[in-house]
Amino acid sequence: MKIFLDTANIEQIKHSCELGIVDGVTTNPTLVAKEKGKFKDLSGLIGTICDIVKGPVSVEAISENADDIISEAEKFAEISKYVVIKVPMTRDGLKAVKILSRNKIKTNMTLIFSANQALLAAKAGANYASPFIGRLDDISHEGMQIIVDIREIFSNYAFNTEVIVASIRHPLHVLEAAKIGADIATIPFDVLDKMLKHPLTDIGIEKFKADFEKVKGEYKI
């Protein structure tokens, strides 16, 4: 399963990419707004992220009608070959994705909350479909179940659209996504940091250090 980092923070992206486990980045208007003042324009921010990641970087179109979404997408796509356009799941969004797909501009259909919506995204030619499982959990739906359904549907018809498990709240979401066979999980920085840690790892390191202190004078490194 590929790991995308869900952030627009340059330091978080640099730190995570140094670990060698990050395959891409997803942003949205909320995440971009948090970085206000650090770059003079959005193009500079996105370009910098692309230079660091050298993998898919999702940038969200904010227009609502198809023509304007396409216009935005064409401008974003000029920033880098790594840019992927996030398009909301709407009628106009589907229209835009179909045209952008024909024009070889990569798309990530976002704000998906049902397997039916994911099916339509794949039919329209989206490169990625992003079901928001955490937000479904928030309203007492079993968010991960739609990942199961989407994987089955995409497998039935050999769709090339990749499933990005989005709106991840905690490490268990990542584990469940991997067990189901999701193509990608897009993970907030704090959740990724939690995945790295385990108390038994820390205890083990301290024990090894303590044991080595007893004999270090007898060994040369």
Catalytic positions: 86
Structure tokens at 24: 């891409």
Residues 6+ apart with CB under 8 A from 46: 27, 57, 59, 76, 79, 80, 83
Backbone φ, ψ for residue 206 (5° rounding) = -65, -40
**At 10, which amino acid appears?**
I
- Which tokens is 84 given? 């992927």
The H-or-E segment that residue 156 falls in is helix 143-157
Please identify which residue in the block is written with the tokens 């709240």: 169
